[in-house]
Amino acid sequence: MTWRIEFEDKALKELTNLNPATQRRIVRYLRERIASADNPRLLGTPLKGQLAEYWRYRVGNYRILCNIHDAALTVLVIRVAHRGKVYR
């Protein structure tokens, strides 16, 4: 099963502001691990509280916040940021 990875405008801007090596690492993770997974929830962690609808993926010191749409087989990337800033 292949999942489609989509980015919100804000997440795409955050990704492009990172250094090129970090960008490649995050995009490679999304393509190779998340898009090809049978269930992307097995690789992530559900968030709690006000962000309970989102899932978090860890790539080094960076976090990727996503919303998973099962019906469309889509993982929508909401935020890409350093672990200290992503939840603000």
Residue 88 in any domain: the answer is no
Supply the pTM of this predicted model: 0.93
What pLDDT was estimated at residue 88? 83
The backbone region for 42, taken as left when phi is positive above 0, alpha when psi lies in -120 to 50, beta otherwise, is alpha
Terminal CA-CA length for the chain: 33
Residue 6: CB atoms within 10 A of its CB come to: 15
Range of the domain at 55: 4-82
What pLDDT was estimated at residue 87? 86
Count of structural domains within the chain: 1
Residue 51 in any domain: the answer is yes
From first to last of its 88 residues, what are the pLDDT tens digits of the chain?
A: 799 999 999 999 999 999 999 999 999 999 999 999 999 999 999 999 999 999 999 999 999 999 999 999 999 999 999 999 998 8
**What CATH number corresponds to the domain at position 15?**
3.30.2310.20
State how far the Cα of 80 lies from the Cα of 17, in Å rounded to an integer: 10
Structure tokens at 9: 């405008």
